[in-house]
Amino acid sequence: MGRAEEVVSMLPQHRDVIVVGASAGGVEALRTLIAGVPGDLAAAIAVVLHMPAGGTSALPQILRRFGNLPTVTASNGAPLRPGTVYVARPDHHLVLIDDEVALSHGPTENGHRPAINALFRSAALSLGPRVIGVLLSGVLDDGVAGLVAIKAQGGLVVVQDPADALYPGMPENAIRNVAADYVLPAAEIGPLLGTLTKENSVEPASSPSSLLRLENEIARDQRTSTDYQANGVGVSSGLTCPDCQGVLSELTSADGRYRCRVGHAWSVEALLEAQGGVFERALWTALRSLDEKRNLAERMCRDARQRGNERLVERYQQMADEARQAAGVLRAHLTGLPASPEPTGDG
């Protein structure tokens, strides 16, 4: 680095990039936040809201109607312009590379694409102390690891007050795991951002960890099949990925997070939730199989009776009764309703 570049790098910088993440209840929180942002904001805003992979998002139109800033759907390679809001596209990670927007189809994180962590990590790695990270209403803990990265790289962390959030899970997890600089209702965050972006950033960025660089490359779809153990940042967990059933590595320099070789990422809470969903789907599959077994056994019982074979009638009726009883217990567990006796078959 030359003397002139060194002097420039030491000059105070404005915090001119704001990254915002939200999930359940996030539309209301985002609408309130954006409505309070001043029209002369000297910073770009990038927004990720968890959304289904298919279809389109009306979020840009919603925020445009309630806010004072131009709001656009993020497009690959677009420059980050102060006073503009960039909204993630469905089924694409929104990441920042220096002062540009980038889209990727990298592996899901906590079952989401776009994922909040992917945006937050990329901003922390590329822009360091210029970044303000904002986490709003939602369940579980997507975005928390990203806030940790933003804080480590000299950025500021703002969290919606859980008492103000429709779904307080994400804000509560953030407050437990990150030393948030501000915890405020959504209505107060917009004006705060106007103030913070006028201040100089004085905290230098620390050297990014190898894990931060690696995870950012995965989100950008540059490393889609990574051996975390070989890279020294993971150990085999003995658990499987709910998305692809691959073996999960536990990331050794992170707090309770996992990655599979494909790159799917999971926090402990999201993994537990997803495994619960896998288990429930398996139970429903088992219930369907028991109902089909009962129906088939009853059909065979009727056929055996018509042929006058009482030995087979007894055998098939017993199989039908056993399947009926097992299905009743399983159905009661899945629905939360008491098992009701069903009439026995024709036998």
Q: Which residues are catalytic?
A: 23, 50, 142
Report the DSSP beta bridge partners of residue 267: 257
Gyration radius of the chain over CA positions: 26
Identify the CA nearest to 245 among candidates 275, 289, 215: 275
For residues 254 and 266, the answer to whether their CB atoms sit within 8 Å is no
Query: Can you spell out the DSSP letters for 210-261?
Result: HHHHHHHHHHTTS-SS--TTTTTSEEEEEEE-TTT-PEEEEETTSSSEEEES
Report the amino acid identity of residue 224: T
Identify the CA nearest to 124 among candidates 48, 212, 42, 210: 212
Report CA-CA distances (Å) from 322 to 104, 137, 294, 315, 319.
51, 47, 8, 11, 5
Cα–Cα distance, 121 to 98 (Å, whole number) = 12
Query: Can you spell out the DSSP letters for 222-233?
Result: S-SS--TTTTTS
Residues in the chain: 347
Cα–Cα distance, 67 to 168 (Å, whole number) = 24
Locus of tokens 């000059």: 11
Cα–Cα distance, 64 to 72 (Å, whole number) = 8
DSSP category for residue 132: E
Those residues whose C-beta lies under 8 Å from the C-beta of residue 7, and which sit 6 or more positions away, are none
Q: Is the Cα dihedral 286, 289, 295, 296 positive or negative?
A: negative
Cα–Cα distance, 22 to 347 (Å, whole number) = 58
